[in-house]
Structure 1
Amino acid sequence: MMNIRIALLDMNNNHANQGFKNIKELSEAFRRGSRENISIESFDVRSKNQVPDIEDFDIFISSGGPGNPHKEGLEWERKYTDFLDSIYGYNKSHDRKKYLFLICHSFQVASIHWELGKICKRESSSFGVIPIYKTQEAKDEFLFENLQEPFYGVDSRSFQFIEPNHRRFEKLGMKIMAMENIHPHLNIERAVMAIRFSDEIFGTQFHPEASPEAMIENLRDEKNKNVVIENIGMQKYIETLDNIDKGHLIATRAQILPRFLQFAKNNLLTIA
């Protein structure tokens, strides 16, 4: 029986975070539902400088996290960008590929590293459940196949990706797969929300791992509730709860990461 090895990269820098717990839950559900021998190992990238050796794993999921995605001269940053280049280069020269999913902070770091556009600080932090719009290039994207237009995802960011360098995208063969909402009354550019970096590497600015139940529980905790209301206001807080209650996140969580894992496994089994 084949062994498949999954590495989970924790980018939270020792901050408490529901997202990484959700990633572990989805990975464990995938392991339990598979007949193959699947192992899962976690790496604390930013606080312990732990980056997996790509030779030791088949599938990688790199989480979101707080702070500035631009380099600040820290040891983990060099290790992490070397890791990105190693996977990208490995896949160009090997039949049996490595599969990588990048979420939020990881997505921003990769976009900066590959010089894909402008990643800048927002005027105010964004938090909530937002509509996400597929691009024309995403019409055949299997990770979005059964999602409505627009679909919904959890958005939590102080930085954003705008002004994509389309020549750079074309040169590297990368494609923008989703954008944020249009703001007809505001003079601001729409942010990039998802990129297919290669056949094996995909990334989202939003959080496809978000659990509706866990998010509601967190938002209704009195301490968390007060922090969120202070940051985004009561109206946005109520709107976020309402969007979760409407079931907007169920399909996003059930499809994107599970489909990515299944796709990776199927291809790994094809080229054992």
Structure 2
Amino acid sequence: MNTDKPEVRVAILDLYDGVANEGMRGFRDILDRYKVQHNLDLSYQVFDVRRKGQVPDTGFDVYISSGGPGSPLDSEGTEWEKKYFRLIDKLDAHNKSDDPQKKHVFFVCHSFQLMCRKYGLGDINLRRSPSFGILPVHLTEAGRNDGVFESLADPFYTVDSRSWQVINPDMDHFKELGMEILALEKERPYVDLPRAIMAIRFNEYFFATQFHPEADAYGIKNMLLREDKKDEVINEHGENKYKEMLERLDDPDKIAHTQKTIIPNFLDEAILRYTTLSY
């Protein structure tokens, strides 16, 4: 009997530029759980893209590209970004080839914004004030039919942490490129501002969210209890909303469910179609 476990190699592209964060731990925790759950020989390697200019080759099975600080506009033309987009172009070309083993990529927040700039999908600008907290995200019709969001409510709750945003989508360009908007920022009827795009499927293998599906209650609670983040949330949303966010951390149907659903569903698409697993 062959007891070898299917081998899966994951590249984590770290765009945090050396800034302390909870995102990288979140990705590792999800991958470690997935490895055990599906009895996989799964390994991952982290590449410090912005600070050290490290970029993986195309030999990995799955790629996860993280969020990060700062402007998604100011890095245009930098050496690290050129390397980053060269990798993305190589993966895209590979996926368009006859090779049956496709390369799946998940882009989060800062990476999402970089990709929207690359494809010219909408306006990218600084928010009037930072968005941070456990907030609802609404699915579009395409999102409700996308397997990555399977078993989530509409709206579902997730961690939104960004100073920048992608808004005012060029729908003709989306249609021309065959891309779909899957989710939008929470509805704010009292604010006369466009809603940010929160999730996009660029193609069958490239998926992106402007929120943080890797975030968990432990990491976010630590952040919310910091004085600077507490003040930030209260200034933006009020003290009652701040207390509500802390309460939501204990709700298994909110970010805990989101963290256990979105990236694992993406991994199912990326991995299960190519491996025979025993449960």
- TM class, shorter-chain normalised? over 0.9
Contact preservation (8 Å) 1:97, 1:268: no
For residue 104 of structure 2, what is the amino acid of its counterpart?
Answer: Y
1:29 aligned onto 2:30: no
1:102 aligned onto 2:103: no
In structure 1, C-alpha distance between the alignment counterparts of 2:173 and 2:107, rounded to whole Å: 19
**Which of 255, 265, 269 in structure 2 is aligned with 1:263?**
269
Residue 255 of structure 1 deviates from its aligned partner by: 0.5
For residue 268 of structure 2, what is the amino acid of its counterpart?
Answer: Q
Contact preservation (8 Å) 2:215, 2:259: yes
Equivalent residue number for residue 231 of structure 2 = 230
Structural mapping, 1:56-135, within 5 Å: 56-70=59-73, 71-93=75-97, 94-135=99-140
In structure 1, C-alpha distance between the alignment counterparts of 2:244 and 2:115, rounded to whole Å: 31
Contact preservation (8 Å) 1:228, 1:237: no
**Which of 19, 29, 49 in structure 1 is aligned with 2:53?**
49
Higher mean C-alpha deviation, range 97-106 or range 210-219: 210-219
- Give the match's secondary structure for 1:199: coil
TM-score, structure 1 normalization: 0.93
CA-atom RMSD in angstroms: 1.5
Contact preservation (8 Å) 2:149, 2:265: no
For residue 258 of structure 1, what is the amino acid of its counterpart?
Answer: P
- Give the match's secondary structure for 1:264: helix
- Give the match's secondary structure for 1:119: strand
1:224-253 per-position Cα deviation (integer Å, ceiling 9, x unaligned) = 2x1113323261432321222333112101
Identity %: 40
Is there any run of 5+ residues in structure 2 with no aligned partner, and where? none
Note closer, same or farther for the CA distance 1:229–1:216 as it changes in structure 2 (3 Å cut): closer
Is there any run of 5+ residues in structure 1 with no aligned partner, and where? none
- Give the match's secondary structure for 1:81: helix
In structure 2, C-alpha distance between the alignment counterparts of 1:217 and 1:227, rounded to whole Å: 12
TM-score, structure 2 normalization: 0.90
In structure 2, C-alpha distance between the alignment counterparts of 1:232 and 1:149, rounded to whole Å: 23
For residue 260 of structure 2, what is the amino acid of its counterpart?
Answer: A
1:141-186 per-position Cα deviation (integer Å, ceiling 9, x unaligned) = 1111211111011000000110111111111111000001122121
Contact preservation (8 Å) 2:66, 2:108: yes
In structure 1, C-alpha distance between the alignment counterparts of 2:266 and 2:142, rounded to whole Å: 18
Equivalent residue number for residue 191 of structure 1 = 196
In structure 2, C-alpha distance between the alignment counterparts of 1:232 and 1:153, rounded to whole Å: 15
1:176 aligned onto 2:177: no
In structure 2, C-alpha distance between the alignment counterparts of 1:38 and 1:250, rounded to whole Å: 23
Deviating beyond 4 angstroms after TM superposition, the runs of 4 or more aligned structure 1 residues are none
In structure 2, C-alpha distance between the alignment counterparts of 1:217 and 1:119, rounded to whole Å: 29
Aligned length: 265
1:160 aligned onto 2:159: no
1:93-137 per-position Cα deviation (integer Å, ceiling 9, x unaligned) = 132200100000011111111111111111111100110000011
For residue 208 of structure 1, what is the amino acid of its counterpart?
Answer: P
In structure 2, C-alpha distance between the alignment counterparts of 1:36 and 1:229, rounded to whole Å: 40
Note closer, same or farther for the CA distance 1:229–1:36 as it changes in structure 2 (3 Å cut): closer
Equivalent residue number for residue 251 of structure 1 = 257
Higher mean C-alpha deviation, range 175-184 or range 70-79: 70-79
Note closer, same or farther for the CA distance 1:174–1:81 as it changes in structure 2 (3 Å cut): same
Contact preservation (8 Å) 1:154, 1:210: yes
For residue 87 of structure 1, what is the amino acid of its counterpart?
Answer: L
More helix, by proportion? 1
In structure 1, C-alpha distance between the alignment counterparts of 2:144 and 2:37, rounded to whole Å: 29
